[in-house]
Amino acid sequence: MKKNNSAGNRLFMALVFLFLYAPIFLLIVFSFNKGNSNTVWTGFSLDWYKSLFQNRIIMQSVYTTLLVSLLATIIATIAGTFAAIGFYSLRRRQRNVLTTINNIPMMNADIVTGVAMCLFFVAFFGGWKTFATWFNGIQSVIELPVRLTLGFGTLLIAHVAFNIPYVLLSVGPKLRQMDKNLVDAAQDLGCTWMQAFWKVILPEIKPGILSGALTAFTMSVDDFIISYFTAGSSSSTLAMTIYGMTKKRVTPEINAISTLLFVTVLILLAITNIREARQEQRALRSQSMPAAAQSGDRPPIRSAAARRLPKLGGAVAVAALLIGTVLAVGRNAGQRVVNVCSWGEYIDTDLIDQFEEETGILVNYQTVESNEALYSLLKSGAGDYDIIVPSDYMISQLIEEGMLEKLDYEKIPNFSLVDDRFKNLSYDPENEYTVPYAWGTMGIIYNTAMVDEPITSWDAMFDTQYAGNVLMFRNSRDAMATALLKLGYSLNTTDEGELREAFQLLADAKRQGVYQSFVMDEIFQKLEGGNAAIGAYYAGDYLTMLDNNEDLAFVIPEEGTNWFVDAMCMLKDAPHQEEAHEWINFIASTDASLANMDYIWYASPNKKALEEYPAYYEELYEEPLDPEIYEIMAASQETLDQCELYLALPRETRMLYNDLWTKLGIG
Amino acid sequence: MKSKLSRFSIPYVIWMALFTVAPIIMVVVYAFSSAEGGFTLDNFAQMGTYAVVFTRSFKLAIIATIICLLIGYPVSYMMSKEGERFQRLAMVLIMLPMWMNFLLRTYAWMSILENNGLLNQFFQHIGLIDLYNRIFGTNIEFFRMMNTQGAVVLGMVYNYLPFMILPIYSVIVKLDRSLIEAARDLGANTFHVFRKVILPLSLPGVLSGITMVFVPSVSTFAISKMLGGGTELLLGDLIEQQFLGNAYNPQLGAAISLVMMVIVVVCMVVMNRFGEGEEQAVML
């Protein structure tokens, strides 16, 4: 009976572990996959491991993660230990109050901690700016930096802040277990309080410190949410990089790096556990007296040299890390940098390398999912960029709010290559702020194998016939546009009645289960994998998807659609203006435009590139470019004439959009 | 002596004032201000609209917490009865997944649960879907698992289960064995020993496990976005959207955060009444 029971127990536990490990094994297995899918096995290869080490974004974020976790752990462990001793020596009332405050970051939801920190830093930066401007104004000896931004520093502070409580929590109990008379005895025997600390307290609480440090490190490495709100745009942890990727495609390189980390930790844990087990056995054997066995935490007495060895090792590690940091910072200090923020899969990454080689300027390339998200990032102070590539309507909003810097077109000779059709557009009538990057149309992408008849109208986006198979935009402007188009209203309407009608259409369709999900770049893998039949998205991205799934078709519905221009702009007070101009000029060149067109499948505004692209394609792939494809990529003027460009909306209308959009999510 | 050592707490008290208390005050300030900066209660006046999101989030988080408890408690209990070597191994196995980033593990679930995902492929392969169609006369090609509330709950349970197991286990394993023996000697059977001795004594672990699962579940945004399809917002999504997402309104975001924080704190205080006076279980 008993045996049966324990077999059942083990089976249950095995199932739980299977549940915990199935996805992990999946990730590990697919890191050896030849193709880039996480569901279809195409053969064994180590390619992803090779390309991992060339992927600068991933390697950089791994480095940031490890560095911030290590530094935060070291700082938090030292600070937490002292704080715990301090707390322990306080009177009970005071201690209880402080302990409650200490517990706040642990009890609070991560998102609240993250948001609170973000608000605090941004408010502090605002205050600092005023102070530094004033201070620099009244004297000229010391020049204080005026502009502070979220970055590695704030990330580190946030990590330290949420790590200290864990250290305190594991050191505290050890202090309370300690025999209080020991400290008094040490003092009676002539110890100063500093000596008492080193010789008596520290050895007693060492296990607590170690487990606190381990917890802190684990928490730091695993953290995503707090980093997400405090790291800004210039430094990105591995978790943030992965989050960015889950929105479109996670490259198996991420599987590879995770496998490597996982195996490393597995080995480390195995070694420490085996060693601990051995030590404990030895301790039990050598200390057969029950009293000694009870205080098993206390390490057996070792020689002074053996005791110093780990300390020495720790000191060396810390020193190496600090030197590494200084070197890393020093290396970057002299380096010219430009921070660029754009959309996902929106540049030929070879261009970045080429630019860096030619100019020696390091490109810090970030992506964001939508215009609205970009706006939030800029407003909340989390986005620290030099160049952004927003769409038309967002550009006029940013200009209106004074967030953009005028460009110096003398430094951008390649601007003259831009087709006149794309100059002086409504969002920047005098063309003072922008250089167009790419343009295209919005339309419906559908899987011909999953729908019965060709789709021709925006009706499809609201049709219950396709319930559960439709993907809708996860940004208010585009989502509302699909409904406005179906209703035959202007995309730029400010009429509240029309907007509410459009919202109702979306809300009803959502209630009837038409939408499988609201997506941005997740649409790539959902449509490519045949997990949804219909989705509204942008023409260039359709062509990318077509490469991976031939059943997909693209249509500009008969009601017309939106055409858009994304343009490069420089942010107000951008710290690297010189570099920013060089980047813009480089991207606007005909060669870069051609390479980019070929890679992202969006049309360039460069006149020569537009004309030459079919020939370029033919030369590269040794087959002519399908004119139909070219028409999707670079719609003819006739098509464009039937489309509407988004205009900036007045503030009240924008508020209404936000409001309706949030309501739709609630519904 | 003691008072001298207590100086050590001063730097940390300053630190907490700056980086724990001040940020929370910022949230409160934001929650009560308008976009222009003046004082307002508008942000809270709108809160009724979001009641649905609050209910949905709390519902899913409670379900996830209960499931975690139903799985986590037996696992901890069974673990504590195994040999020392097994326990050590099991602990490592439970902590290890945390080293593979949770976003990545959640992403792996996406490829398992998708309509064309591994699980549906498997069902197709063994003929389960055909069987289902024959029995119910339906014509489905896959089981819809992605983009449902079930998938979100699964993601929560998957990610936060270790947070339930670890504190419960660390309490159970430290239980004074002599109490159990005493209960046995006094005639209690296995069930009674469990109900009258082990369960009450492990309550602190259970409470801290519940907190550690419930709080992140109720405020998650990544899991719901990835597995839930983003059509039904959870509290975390709503807050994230107001700060870094598609509807910039930090004042409203702060107000929602504040309300959520207050509700969670009230829940915790009420719950901790049950385990009053108990030491908080150390988690790892």
Supply the pLDDT for residue A318. 63
C-beta atoms of B78 and A468 within 8 A:
no
Q: Is the pLDDT of residue A313 over 90?
A: no
Domain presence at residue B68: yes
pLDDT digits (tens, 9 = 90+) for A117-135: 999 998 999 899 899 999 9
Check CB contact of A196 with chain B, cutoff 8 Å: yes
Q: Is the pLDDT of residue B281 over 50?
A: no
**Domain count across chain B:** 1
Residue A75 makes CB contacts below 8 A (sequence gap 6+) with A156, A160, A163
Interface mutation vs chain A, best among B8, B49, B95, B140, most A CBs within 10 Å = B8
Q: Is the pLDDT of residue A67 over 70?
A: yes
Chains A, B: CB contacts within 8 A come to 318
Q: Is the pLDDT of residue B283 over 60?
A: no
CA B237 to chain centre: 16
C-beta atoms of B246 and A476 within 8 A:
yes
- Domain extent for B235: 51-248
Q: How far is B135 from chain A (nearest CA, A)?
A: 23
Q: Is the pLDDT of residue A366 over 80?
A: yes
C-beta atoms of A102 and B215 within 8 A:
no
DSSP 8-state secondary structure symbol assigned to residue A603: B
Is residue A71 very low, low, confident or very high in pLDDT (cuts 50, 70, 90)? very high
Residue A534, classed as helix, strand or coil, is strand
- CA-CA-CA-CA torsion sign (A37, A43, A44, A47): negative
Q: How far is A472 from chain B (nearest CA, A)?
A: 9
Q: Is the pLDDT of residue A570 over 50?
A: yes
Domain presence at residue B35: no
DSSP 8-state secondary structure symbol assigned to residue A146: -
Supply the pLDDT for residue A331. 53
Check CB contact of A190 with chain B, cutoff 8 Å: no
- Within 8 A of A531 by CB-CB distance, chain B residues are 114-117, 146
Supply the pLDDT for residue A491. 95
Supply the pLDDT for residue A289. 47
Q: Is the pLDDT of residue A316 over 80?
A: no
DSSP 8-state secondary structure symbol assigned to residue A192: -
Residue A332, classed as helix, strand or coil, is helix
Domain presence at residue B13: no
Q: Is the pLDDT of residue A165 over 70?
A: yes
Domain presence at residue B72: yes
Supply the pLDDT for residue B84. 84
Q: Is the pLDDT of residue A305 over 70?
A: no
The pTM assigned to this predicted structure is 0.87
Q: What is the mean pLDDT of residues A36-63?
A: 86
Q: Is the pLDDT of residue A328 over 70?
A: no
Supply the pLDDT for residue B277. 45
Supply the pLDDT for residue B284. 35
Mean pLDDT (chain A) is 87
Interface mutation vs chain B, best among A108, A176, A187, A478, most B CBs within 10 Å = A108
Q: Is the pLDDT of residue A312 over 60?
A: no
Supply the pLDDT for residue A292. 39
Is residue A324 very low, low, confident or very high in pLDDT (cuts 50, 70, 90)? low
Q: Are A502 and A489 in contact (CB under 8 A)?
A: yes
**Helical H runs in B82-221?**
84-95, 102-113, 118-126, 128-136, 149-172, 177-185, 190-192, 199-218
- Give the C-alpha distances (Å, rounded to integers) separating A405 from A363, A434, A458, A564, A568: 20, 9, 38, 22, 11
- Give the C-alpha distances (Å, rounded to integers) separating A450 from A408, A543, A552, B92, B211: 51, 18, 10, 46, 45
- Classify residue A298 as exposed, middle or buried by CB count within 10 Å of its CB (0-12, 13-18, 19+): middle
Q: Is the pLDDT of residue A315 over 70?
A: no
- Within 8 A of A116 by CB-CB distance, chain B residues are 23-24, 26-27, 257
Q: Are A433 and A604 in contact (CB under 8 A)?
A: no
Domain presence at residue B254: no
Q: Identify which of B23, B88, B158 has the shortest CB distance to residue A116.
A: B23
Check CB contact of B81 with chain A, cutoff 8 Å: yes
Supply the pLDDT for residue B1. 45
Q: Is the pLDDT of residue B278 over 50?
A: no
The CATH code of the domain that includes B63 is 1.10.3720.10
φ/ψ (deg, to 5) at A512? -80, 5
Of residues A72, A383, A312, A345, the one with CA closest to residue A213: A72
Residue A284 makes CB contacts below 8 A (sequence gap 6+) with A293, A296
Q: Are A589 and A338 in contact (CB under 8 A)?
A: no
Q: Is the pLDDT of residue A56 over 90?
A: no
Domain presence at residue B216: yes
Q: Identify which of B12, B78, B243 has the shortest CB distance to residue A115.
A: B243
Q: Residue A206 — left, alpha, or beta (φ > 0 → left; ψ -120 to 50 → alpha)?
A: alpha
- Within 8 A of B22 by CB-CB distance, chain A residues are 120
Rounded Cα gap, residues B14 and B11, in angstroms = 5
* H or E element at residue A496: helix A496-511
Rounded Cα gap, residues A477 and A370, in angstroms = 10
Rounded Cα gap, residues A434 and A432, in angstroms = 6
pLDDT digits (tens, 9 = 90+) for B66-117: 999 999 999 999 998 888 888 888 888 888 888 788 888 898 998 899 888 8
C-beta atoms of B144 and A123 within 8 A:
no
- Within 8 A of A82 by CB-CB distance, chain B residues are 8-9, 11-12
Is residue B65 very low, low, confident or very high in pLDDT (cuts 50, 70, 90)? very high
ipTM: 0.91
Q: Is the pLDDT of residue A293 over 50?
A: no
Which of A:167-186 have CB within 8 Å of B? 169-170, 173, 183-184
Which of A:485-544 have CB within 8 Å of B? 510, 515-519, 529-532
Tokens of B241: 């959207």
Supply the pLDDT for residue A294. 42
- Give the C-alpha distances (Å, rounded to integers) separating A437 from A163, A342, A400, A568, A570: 43, 10, 21, 6, 13
Q: Is the pLDDT of residue A431 over 50?
A: yes
**Helical H runs in A31-109?**
47-52, 56-88, 92-107
Q: Residue A132 — left, alpha, or beta (φ > 0 → left; ψ -120 to 50 → alpha)?
A: alpha
Among the ranges given (A9-13, A289-293, B256-260), the one the predictor scored with the smallest mean pLDDT: A289-293
DSSP 8-state secondary structure symbol assigned to residue A385: -
C-beta atoms of A89 and B211 within 8 A:
no
Q: What is the mean pLDDT of residues A262-269?
A: 84
| Identity of the amino acid at B22 | A
Among the ranges given (A165-179, A243-257, A406-420), the one the predictor scored with the smallest mean pLDDT: A243-257
Other CB atoms within 10 A of residue A125 CB: 17
Q: Which residues pair with A405 in a beta bridge?
A: A570
Mean pLDDT (chain B) is 87
pLDDT digits (tens, 9 = 90+) for A369-394: 889 889 988 888 777 899 999 999 99
C-beta atoms of A26 and B52 within 8 A:
no
pLDDT digits (tens, 9 = 90+) for A610-654: 999 999 999 999 999 999 999 999 999 999 998 999 998 998 999
Tokens of A165: 């409580």
Q: Identify which of A107, A109, A157 has the shortest CB distance to residue B218.
A: A109
Of residues A304 and A55, the one with the higher pLDDT is: A55
- Give the C-alpha distances (Å, rounded to integers) separating A357 from A331, A351, A361: 17, 10, 8
Q: What is the mean pLDDT of residues A549-573?
A: 94
Domain presence at residue B1: no
Domain presence at residue B187: yes
Q: Are A445 and A552 in contact (CB under 8 A)?
A: yes
Supply the pLDDT for residue A391. 94
Supply the pLDDT for residue A245. 81
DSSP 8-state secondary structure symbol assigned to residue A427: T
Supply the pLDDT for residue B282. 39
Supply the pLDDT for residue B56. 94
Of residues A461 and B38, the one with the higher pLDDT is: A461
Which of B:174-193 have CB within 8 Å of A? none
